[in-house]
Chains A and B, each alone.
Chain A
Amino acid sequence: MFERFTNEARQTVTLAQENSRRLKHPAIGTEHLLLGLLDQQETVSAQILGRHGLDRERADRAVVRLVPHAPKDALDADALETIGIDLAAIREKVEAVFGPGSLDRPPRRDHRGGLFSGRHIPFSKEAKKSLELSLREALALKHRYIGDGHILLGLLREGEGLASRVIADAGIDAATLRQEIVAELGTRRTPG
């Protein structure tokens, strides 16, 4: 579904992944997509959010506050230490090969029942839904591309992820924000 994504939209997804990794979260959620948008200060979405007082720093603080710090799937380092196993040493070696956090995410099953390692960070249900909705927002506006603005519309439409919560907590009215994004995107069918 990423074929029609603009560079900014693709970058948003990449940055969302980086944010999730940096915060040591188990999945890529809507809040990380929001941070991915705000990481790119020049984008339509970041500009509009900025006008309403929500910038990168503020969003980051809100996310850190809302998301529980200790992941529930944490490995039991203390228990391993009682039998002489140094989890930190193991983690260092594993991460050197498979990347940061690869040992900290539990394996998960895909829809076919196959088991996958924690190497790749999965998208949360809400984040997936938001990205699908960004495509639908673009289609509804008769745009032939999906830009960062459509992702923000998707996040607002999804409505149940932490991104919506962060936006609402910043005192921003979702309906007003929607109107402004749509107005800003205009009627051009191609990005620009």
Chain B
Amino acid sequence: MSDTAQLASDAGSRDPAVGLRAVRALRTLVDRLEALQVENARDQNWSWQEIAHCLEVSRQAVHKKYAGGRGLLRRER
């Protein structure tokens, strides 16, 4: 454990500043992992429906987030 992290642990995990910062860091990490995995799934010809099913979100949600909003003629599967 690095000095900073050790210090934070010692200072008490009840410190909201420490806890919230960890949540933010985790969310950033999850966002990046999700983007990599969704892109990988699309590269392997997975449908939005299949991706949505694995992530337990709606097809619309994952499509809106990753495919972008514009373009009525965009390919959809």
Contact = CB atoms under 8 A, between A and B. Distances in A.
A79 B22 contact: yes
Interface stretch (A20-28, A82-90, A154-162): A82-90
Looking at chain B's contact residues, is the secondary structure mostly helix, strand, loop, or mixed? helix
Contacts of B67: 114
Contact of B25 (A80, A98, A103): A80
Contacts of A94: 33, 36
Interface residues of A, number: 29
B32 A83 contact: no
Nearest to A87: B29
Interface in B19-57: 19, 21-22, 24-26, 28-29, 31-33, 35-36, 38-40
B22 A103 contact: no
A108 to B, nearest CB: 9
Interface string B41-77: 0000000000000000000000001111111001000
Contacts of A116: 35, 39
Given A94-B36, A112-B68, A81 B26 contact: no
A76 B25 contact: yes
B40 to A, nearest CB: 7
Contacts of B21: 76, 79, 82
B18 A103 contact: no
A118 B36 contact: yes
B22 A83 contact: yes
Nearest to A110: B68
Interface string A91-124: 0001001100011001101101111111100000
Nearest to A108: B35
B23 to A, nearest CB: 8
B5 A119 contact: no
15 contacts: A75-B28, A75-B32, A79-B25, A79-B26, A80-B22, A81-B2, A82-B5, A85-B26, A106-B31, A106-B32, A112-B68, A115-B35, A117-B35, A117-B38, A119-B39
Given A76-B24, A82-B18, A90-B29, 19 more contacts: A75-B28, A76-B22, A79-B18, A79-B24, A80-B29, A81-B1, A82-B9, A94-B36, A97-B40, A102-B36, A103-B29, A103-B32, A112-B68, A113-B69, A114-B67, A115-B65, A115-B68, A116-B35, A118-B36
